[in-house]
């Protein structure tokens, strides 16, 4: 069973779900008008994340930050898949979505700690 968190309202709502995968963690971060798979990042606690993106997608910006944050907080390997989309998003809207993603991640980490994950 996964642990989930969400933050934001309407088209700025972000959700995150985590599952344990052996000695690691997998997180999906989605939101906006059309959640999807846009980018992914893999982190270990002692190094920077490695990130990949589907062409023309910038979701790796979120997956990179989230994977490093979760990996450092838990001391575990962490794979994050992210897909957040608002059609014709402005720079301000993108900033809101990234910020909401980081707040949602903090909430998710707290839930993970409470569950012992």
All domains in the chain, ordered by first residue: 3-115 (3.30.230.100)
Q: Tell me how far apart the alpha carbons of residues 74 and 84 are, in angstroms, rounded to a whole number.
A: 24
Q: How far apart (Å, rounded) are the C-alpha atoms in residues 112 and 117?
A: 5
Amino acid 1: pLDDT: 53
Nearest to 50 by CA among 37, 69, 63, 36: 63
The pLDDT tens digits of the residues spanning 29-78 come to 999 999 999 999 999 999 889 999 999 999 999 999 999 999 999 999 99
- Whether the model pTM is above 0.75: yes
What separation in angstroms does the CA of 101 have from each of 23, 94, 117? Answer: 24, 10, 20
């Amino acid at each position: 069973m996964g642990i989930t968190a969400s933050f934001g309202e309407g088209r700025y709502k972000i959700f995150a779900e985590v599952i344990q995968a052996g000695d690691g963690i997998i997180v999906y971060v989605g939101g906006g008008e059309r959640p999807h798979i846009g980018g992914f990042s893999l982190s270990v606690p002692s190094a920077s994340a490695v990130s990949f993106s589907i062409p023309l997608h910038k979701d790796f910006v979120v997956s990179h930050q989230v994977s490093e944050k979760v990996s450092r907080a838990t001391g575990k390997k962490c794979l994050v898949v992210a897909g957040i989309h608002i059609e014709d998003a402005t720079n301000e809207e993108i900033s809101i979505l990234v910020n909401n993603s980081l707040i949602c991640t903090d909430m998710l980490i707290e839930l993970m700690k409470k569950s012992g994950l």
